[in-house]
Amino acid sequence: MKNAITILLIILLTFGATDSIAKPKTAVKVSQNTIESLMNGLSSENLGLKSSSAYMIGELQLAEAVIPLMRILHQDENAEIRIAAALALYKIGSPTAIHAVKQAIRFDDSERVSKLCANFYSEYLKNKFNDEEKTEYEANIATN
C-alpha cells in the first residue's frame, strides 16, 4: 500500500499533475454524513482508509478538516500518511493549510516528506503568482 501511495505521488509530481488536481473540476454538494465519514476515516488505524480519506478531503477541499490533517502531518509515524495529509492540505489551499505544509519542509524528520512538501509549496506559489499576473493582465485590458 505504501508503495502505491508513493508511486502515485511521484507520478503526479513528475508530470506536473498538481495543476489539474489542485481544485475540483466541478462544485460538488457534500453531505454532512460524507464529511463525518471522511473525518472518521482520518482517525482510523487502517492506513488505506486513512490515506484515501485524506485524499478525498483534499479533492473536496473540506476546510473543516485542516486541523485534523495538520495533526496527522505533525504527529503520524507513517511518512506516506503524512504525505497524503500534506497533499490534502495543499489542495485545500487555505492560509493555515499552506502554512502547515511550509513548516513541514523544515521540521519533518523524513527527507522524502520534506521534499514533497517543498514541491507542494512551490506549486502553490507558482499557481498563486500566475493567478495574480492573470488578474493584473485582465485589469489592464479592461482599463485600455
Domain containing residue 125: CATH number: 1.25.10.10
- Write down the pTM of the prediction: 0.76
C-alpha cell at 8: 502515485
Sign of the four-CA dihedral 109, 110, 116, 122: positive
Q: With respect to residue 108, please indicate whether it lies within any of the assigned structural domains.
A: yes
Judged against a pLDDT cut of 80, whether residue 92 lies above it is answered with yes
Domain span including residue 62: 29-143
Q: With respect to residue 120, please indicate whether it lies within any of the assigned structural domains.
A: yes
Which residues, 6 or more positions from 44, have their beta carbon under 8 angstroms from its beta carbon?
50, 53
Q: With respect to residue 4, please indicate whether it lies within any of the assigned structural domains.
A: no
pLDDT of 28 = 76
Judged against a pLDDT cut of 70, whether residue 137 lies above it is answered with no
Q: With respect to residue 14, please indicate whether it lies within any of the assigned structural domains.
A: no
Tell me how many domains the chain contains.
1
pLDDT of 132 = 76
Q: With respect to residue 64, please indicate whether it lies within any of the assigned structural domains.
A: yes
